[in-house]
Amino acid sequence: MVLLAAFVCAACGLVYELELVALGSYLLGDSVTQASVVLSVMVCAMGVGSLLAKRFTLRPAASFALVESLLALVGGLSVIALYGCYVWLGHYQVALVGFASLIGLLIGAEIPLLMTLMQRIRRQEAGRAVADLFAADYVGALVGGLAFPFLLLPTLGQLTGALLTGVVNTVAGGLIAFWLFRAEPAPRVRLLLGLCSGVVVVVLALAWAGSGAFERAAQRRLYGGPVRVSAQSRFQQIILTGGAGGTDRSADAARLYLSGRLAVCGHDQAAYHADLTRPALRGGRRARVLVLGGGDGLAARQILAAPGVRRVTVVEQDPVLLRLGTDDPVLRELNGAALADPRVQTVTADAFGWLRTAPVQEHPYDVIVADLPSAGLDAADKLYTREFYGLVRRMLAPGGRLVVHAADHLWSVADTLRAVGLTPHAYLAAGRDAVACGELPAGDATWHFVLASATTLPRSALQDVQPLTEPTGTPSRVATLLGPL
């Protein structure tokens, strides 16, 4: 039973750790930095917690129950507190380090106390006891690490998942103090521990009861208006605002946020997706088109409007976004019900993995549209590599074209495409309402795209080609397509 308690507490501790990493990645991006800060601070704090726990090994059962109650309180409320700090106070990094330190201290105190309890139950060699305890601890961490992305996050969300983990943590501590070692604490101490555990559970329950109102208030402040849809998938947080109800019911007022970053602004989405797709569709065959990403269906709508398109395959890894693109009334209005068109086939898969396993002979595409997250985001970096573009080239039919939204990575995208044998041509498009949408800073309302092919592109696709000067001042082999598209 002591090993079971170690197993459960290790699972809970890792869930707290992953909650902090995931929240930091959603709010600030740069998941590598967030994970590095949380892991390094927590591991250091665990060492300090283990040293401090030596003073409490005389009453290990009562001390363990108290540590688990405190850990449940701090870990369970950590997501709500950090989210509130980010939205209203603006001192998120300081709060993140503080919570990571507190959680690490309490997790570190568990091992010496559990070791002492094991020795009281059964005297054995220190090496054997350590092996048993660490085995339970590491297997529990495995279960917690798998439960977080596959169960807690997609089904409960971050706030509720952290609160439920806190309740489980409290129960594990109570199992030790009130059952296995109920003779150790004095009656008054046992009463105080029971009150402490009960207060923690009540606080967590009250936080759960108010989490909905808290999240709505925080999202309203964060996104500048009422949130119409808030969904948590295994891959990202999906927020839809505007477009239905309220003062502005127009679909043009809708905005789609993926993990806190604006992905679609209703005012500008038609212009953006037209500029993304038209040059690739102009000139040459376009019977079969592949869209990598694009689960909102907006790129598919523009493609279906082109004459001669017979088949569109949309490869999107997030089934929740695909479902919203099909069922949500506002997104469905924006995409013209494109995902329900019989010519459209949707595939739920990671674009990189799907390209690796798709048989080349069965999938020759005339046009491939990379409607993917912007380069520079950790999760999207693999979608802008030489390996990825090499897989894309294998899927292009003779004379096929690829188009990529390069954002501010225009030169590196063009050079990477050239490295796999594709000839890149960069073109610019002015965002009509990009500044108003908050997508781009004032004075920089421009989108950068790269059109590439393994063969010479027809004249109809290369209108108004002009040389583009690289930042060094030397002429570039990358051309720019300027003028109306």
Which residue among 371, 415, 444, 464 is the active-site one? 371
3-state class of 233 per DSSP? coil
Residue found by looking up tokens 């709060």 in the block: 95
What is the distance between the alpha carbons of residues 101 and 93, in angstroms, rounded to a whole number? Answer: 12
Residue 34 has what pLDDT? 86
What is the distance between the alpha carbons of residues 376 and 382, in angstroms, rounded to a whole number? Answer: 10
Picking from 260, 234, 242, the residue whose alpha carbon sits closest to that of residue 83 is 260
Residue 461 has what pLDDT? 64
For the stretch 85-94, pLDDT in tens is: 998 987 888 9
> Which domains are seen in the chain, by residue range?
2-223 (1.20.1250), 227-258 (no CATH), 267-481 (3.40.50.150)
Residue 402, phi then psi, degrees to nearest 5 = -120, 140
For the stretch 246-265, pLDDT in tens is: 445 567 778 898 888 888 88
Q: Are strands 423-430 and 475-481 parallel, antiparallel or unpaired?
A: parallel
Name residue 228's amino acid. Answer: R
Residue 249 has what pLDDT? 53
The beta-strand segments (E) located in 372-453 are 396-405, 423-430, 446-453
What is the distance between the alpha carbons of residues 174 and 185, in angstroms, rounded to a whole number? Answer: 12
What is the distance between the alpha carbons of residues 99 and 21, in angstroms, rounded to a whole number? Answer: 12
What is the distance between the alpha carbons of residues 364 and 90, in angstroms, rounded to a whole number? Answer: 50
As annotated, the binding site for S-methyl-5'-thioadenosine includes 236, 316, 350-351
Active site residue 327: no
For the stretch 382-418, pLDDT in tens is: 888 999 999 999 999 988 999 998 877 888 898 999 9
What's the pLDDT band for 379 if we cut at 50, 70, 90? Answer: low
Mean pLDDT of the chain: 84
Instruction: Compare 127 and 41 and report the one with higher pLDDT.
Output: 41
> In the β-sheet with 423-430, what is the strand arrangement from edge to edge?
344-348, 311-316, 288-293, 365-371, 396-405, 446-453, 423-430, 475-481, 465-469
pTM above 0.85, yes or no: no
Q: Does the pLDDT of residue 475 top 70, yes or no?
A: no
Residue 66 has what pLDDT? 93
What is the distance between the alpha carbons of residues 423 and 107, in angstroms, rounded to a whole number? Answer: 55
Cβ proximity of 363 and 395 under 8 Å: yes
For the stretch 128-161, pLDDT in tens is: 888 889 999 999 999 999 999 999 998 898 999 9
Q: Does the pLDDT of residue 11 top 80, yes or no?
A: yes
Cβ proximity of 218 and 83 under 8 Å: yes
What is the distance between the alpha carbons of residues 330 and 335, in angstroms, rounded to a whole number? Answer: 9
Q: State both tokens at 399.
A: 């004379």
As annotated, the binding site includes 236, 273, 296, 316, 350-351
Query: Please, what's the b/e burial string for 18-36 (b: 16 or more CB within 10 A of its CB; e: otherwise)?
Result: bbbbbbbbbbebebeebbe
Residues in CB range of 188: below 8 A, 6 or more apart: none
For the stretch 306-332, pLDDT in tens is: 999 999 999 999 999 999 999 999 999
Residue 97 has what pLDDT? 94
